[in-house]
A and B are shown apart, each in its own frame.
Chain A
Amino acid sequence: MSDIPSYLKVNYTIRPAKSIERKMIAEACARLSAFSRVSSYRYIGLGSIFFTDFTLFHRTLGFSEMISMEENIEDSGRFEFNKPLGCIQIEFGNSRQVLPTLKWQNRPTIIWLDYDRALDKDKLEDIGYVVANLCPPSMLIVTLRAVADDFGDPDSRLAVLKEELKDKLSYEIQTKDLIQTRFPMAVRNIVHDNISLVMNERNAGFPRENRFEYRQILNFCYSDGTMMVTIGGVIVQTGQLPNFGHCDFNYLEFYRPGEESYFIRAPSLTLLEQRFLDLQFPSASAYCPCVPNDDILAYAKLYRYFPKFVEAEI
């Protein structure tokens, strides 16, 4: 794996699957209004220099308390310069250092740990810390690189993962689970097991009617060149479960409460083709001359979130 931060390699705004994912997450977040006014949630993210998620969430959800954790301290001037909104506060330091300095009590939060690297023990510790501290109702979203080769060849992957994650890796994960096609699911399961354990510890000693629950709603898989996995869920207390029901997350096309993921496949279509199809949507029988049916079906699922990239001279 390269150590060059991904913001120096790729412009986040033009990765189509990522862009779709971001909008889907925004749509899921909007449903938190069943608990309280969405704009009152605090947003914590890893903004990079593009702050794309911050801009989108501010515009669509109205968040005004936003914190970006940024580990590239030596480039701090550049990050401050690129901050698109006055309400974004940049906390310099890696997430492991920053998370414990934030206040969590009585602060419903949406936190997106949008890592661009592979899973490791530090990241699981971040996730564990957040799960132990998030004030319900809050949403936790985690994105991780899910490339099996990062952990060596197929025969040694299990040993490499065990060495890295120690007892944070369930005994149920076997070599066969670590081939590339199953790897995103393995990553989701590892994260999920760790969330579950911390939730269990958090609940110890709490009366049954006042326990914390983590309800997964998102499980995305996508590739803009690199396979990534995103898992997200809401942390609620037992008494808030009726509100959770009113969020109607299960009506979202991309709602995935288990290990099965929603694969974001962004078909390659010209703007003209997109427009031609948009004119027919929503429709189960949309067509476009010469465009493969698979692409039309994929686009039909995503068109509401599909980015329209054009070159513009500003």
Chain B
Amino acid sequence: MVTPHEDTVRAQPTKAFFVSMLVKDQSLPSAILDLVDNCVDGAKRIRGGNPFDNLHVDISISPQKFEIKDNCGGISIDLAKNYAFCFGRDANAPPLHGTVGLFGVGMKRAIFKLGSKFEVRSISEYGSFTVKVAVDQWQTDNTPPWTFPMTCTEYAQPTLEKDRGTVVEVTDLFEGVASQFGEKLFITRLRSEIAARHQIYLDKGIRMTMNGTHIAPTTVTYAFVPGELLPARKSFHLDGVAVNLFVGIGASDIENAGWYVYCNGRMVVRADQSELTGWGELGTPKIPKYHHQFSRFRGSVYFESDDPTLLPWNTTKDRLDVEADKYRSVKLQMVATMRPVIDFLNRLDSELQEPDEEKRVLTELVRKATYSPPTADLPVEEEFTYVKPMPRPKPPKTVTIQYSRPKEKVDALKKCLGAASAREAGERTFDWYLKNECGYE
């Protein structure tokens, strides 16, 4: 009989896995957003909770070259040598404090998504370095340890704060990437993504430009009428994560209605109208599927944590980790809070049938609303609040009559009656017959 013996199986990764496979999970815009996240984390490191004034991120895109440049403090030589270029986050890496980057994959994956040559240059307080890599050549040898060549200079005196920053440059762009970078409308969409997804940081004062043009933040706003119409706000803590939730109505916009979910200030989900955020799911309460009637719906959820690993985002930061316990419990709150808004929007829609304009109370309420972003100093109302219209006496039961007649004849009847519509002509001839032929007053 052969005796079993202990052995091992090979389990080390290959460079090709990172260079060619991992990039498939990420879209091109999301790769660029990831590089912007790195700049934002730099800003957070040097400014903490203070405004981001005088910090900037300049992105330059062309079919030949991609470049992102910031003045957000730079990467220290130590951080670069030991952690920043590693694939995956090292357990010994410096602690994360409310950062957006956390997986240790963003920058490298984004670079690999774009092209086959890259250069990272950074100036930090006491040093500067350049890492320059031709990826095709680098990935031919999988022998560990994996390294990138680096040229660095250490300084005895601190550098000027304004000079500290990082430049990531990618050349030899892949064909599909280069062709999209040549499209103005691709760049327009990319700008719109940054304007929305980094809106909170832009509002904090960091200035971003793309191909020399400033990117203004796109802010989600809510309708307010003091004392009469207020969004709901819920605030609570879940094991190291602070959650703030706003639900209410905004301007009618079929594409931008829905839920917005932020993790440490970075928008992860934009205008979601799917089951992900409770739309059309069988639950308690039941929420209908999204459709145009809800084009005023707005909901925002802010997850904040010093430890970003506790937040429910995926590694590309464009979707939620729906199985994360924290998201599952918050989703229940989201669904419960959105129900009154759905009821409001249903009532608002049914007011369209109301012939008497004075009785369109909710329409009038929405008309006089002003719109502003949800702010932390907003008075906390657990429920979406609005002045409910007085219940109207139940109208008598009606039956709809539908029939067709030649247009020419209907037009003649309308003219004879002076009726503005076919419906009015029908109603008035009915009333006339009922009164004069049936004697019914």
CA distance A170 to B210 in the complex (A): 13
B213 at the interface (CB under 8 A from A): yes
Chain B residues contacting A204 (CB-CB under 8 Å) are 176, 179
Of the candidates B176, B179, B184, B186, the one having the most CB atoms from chain A within 10 angstroms of its own CB is B184
B182-195 contact mask (Cβ, 8 Å, vs A): 1 or 0: 11111111011000
Tell me if A169 and B183 are in contact (CB < 8 A): no
Chain A residues contacting B179 (CB-CB under 8 Å) are 200, 203-204
Tell me if B176 and A168 are in contact (CB < 8 A): no
Chain B residues contacting A170 (CB-CB under 8 Å) are 184-185, 187-188
Chain B residues contacting A172 (CB-CB under 8 Å) are 184, 213
Interface-facing stretch out of A57-65, A190-198, A224-232, A302-310: A190-198
Please classify how large the interface on chain A is, using the bins under 10, 10 to 19, 20 to 34, 35 or more. Answer: 10 to 19
Chain B nearest CB from A18 CB (Å) reads: 30
CA distance A172 to B210 in the complex (A): 11
Chain A residues contacting B154 (CB-CB under 8 Å) are none
Tell me if B185 and A193 are in contact (CB < 8 A): yes
Main DSSP-derived SS at the B contact region: helix
Among B180, B187, B191, B192, which residue has its beta carbon within 8 angstroms of that of A200? B180
A166 at the interface (CB under 8 A from B): yes
CB-based nearest B residue for A197: B185
Of the candidates B179, B191, B210, the one having the most CB atoms from chain A within 10 angstroms of its own CB is B179
A294 at the interface (CB under 8 A from B): no
B161 at the interface (CB under 8 A from A): no
CA distance A204 to B186 in the complex (A): 14
B343 at the interface (CB under 8 A from A): no
A167 at the interface (CB under 8 A from B): yes
Tell me if B184 and A167 are in contact (CB < 8 A): no
Which residues of B (176-220) have their CB < 8 Å from a CB of A?
176, 179-180, 182-189, 191-192, 210, 213
CA distance A203 to B176 in the complex (A): 10
Among A167, A193, A196, A203, which residue has its beta carbon within 8 angstroms of that of B192? A167
Among A74, A169, A200, A203, which residue has its beta carbon within 8 angstroms of that of B188? A169
A81 at the interface (CB under 8 A from B): no
CA distance A200 to B179 in the complex (A): 7
CA distance A134 to B278 in the complex (A): 41
Chain B residues contacting A203 (CB-CB under 8 Å) are 179
CB-based nearest B residue for A208: B175
Chain A nearest CB from B209 CB (Å) reads: 11
B255 at the interface (CB under 8 A from A): yes
Chain A nearest CB from B134 CB (Å) reads: 23
CA distance A167 to B189 in the complex (A): 6
CB-based nearest A residue for B192: A167
CB-based nearest B residue for A169: B188
A251 at the interface (CB under 8 A from B): no
CA distance A73 to B176 in the complex (A): 44
Which residues of A (184-210) have their CB < 8 Å from a CB of B?
193-194, 196-197, 200, 203-204
Chain A nearest CB from B211 CB (Å) reads: 9
CA distance A150 to B94 in the complex (A): 58
Chain A nearest CB from B371 CB (Å) reads: 14
Given A166-B255, A204-B176, also A196-B188 (CB < 8 A): no
CA distance A171 to B188 in the complex (A): 5
CB-based nearest A residue for B179: A200
B364-381 contact mask (Cβ, 8 Å, vs A): 1 or 0: 000000000000000000
Chain A residues contacting B407 (CB-CB under 8 Å) are 74
Tell me if B188 and A167 are in contact (CB < 8 A): yes
Chain B residues contacting A169 (CB-CB under 8 Å) are 188
Tell me if B183 and A200 are in contact (CB < 8 A): yes
Of the candidates B186, B187, B188, the one having the most CB atoms from chain A within 10 angstroms of its own CB is B188
CA distance A168 to B255 in the complex (A): 14
B151-191 contact mask (Cβ, 8 Å, vs A): 1 or 0: 00000000000000000000000001001101111111101
Chain A residues contacting B210 (CB-CB under 8 Å) are 171
Which residues of A (158-192) have their CB < 8 Å from a CB of B?
166-172
Chain B nearest CB from A245 CB (Å) reads: 23
Chain A residues contacting B183 (CB-CB under 8 Å) are 193, 196-197, 200
Chain A nearest CB from B5 CB (Å) reads: 51
CA distance A172 to B182 in the complex (A): 13
Among B180, B185, B187, which residue has its beta carbon within 8 angstroms of that of A168? B185
Chain A residues contacting B191 (CB-CB under 8 Å) are 171
Chain B nearest CB from A20 CB (Å) reads: 32
Chain A nearest CB from B324 CB (Å) reads: 31
Chain B residues contacting A171 (CB-CB under 8 Å) are 184, 187-188, 191, 210, 213
Contact sample, A vs B, 14 pairs, CB 8 Å cutoff: A74-B407, A167-B192, A168-B185, A170-B185, A170-B187, A171-B184, A171-B187, A171-B191, A171-B213, A196-B183, A197-B183, A197-B184, A200-B182, A200-B186
Give 6 nearest A-B pairs by CB, closest first.
A170-B184, A197-B185, A171-B188, A193-B184, A167-B189, A197-B183
Chain B residues close to A by CB (< 8 Å):
176, 179-180, 182-189, 191-192, 210, 213, 255, 407
Q: A193-B183, A197-B185 are in contact. List 20 more A-B contacts (CB 8 A).
A: A166-B255, A168-B185, A170-B185, A170-B188, A171-B184, A171-B187, A171-B210, A171-B213, A172-B213, A194-B185, A196-B183, A196-B185, A197-B183, A197-B184, A197-B186, A200-B180, A200-B182, A200-B186, A203-B179, A204-B179
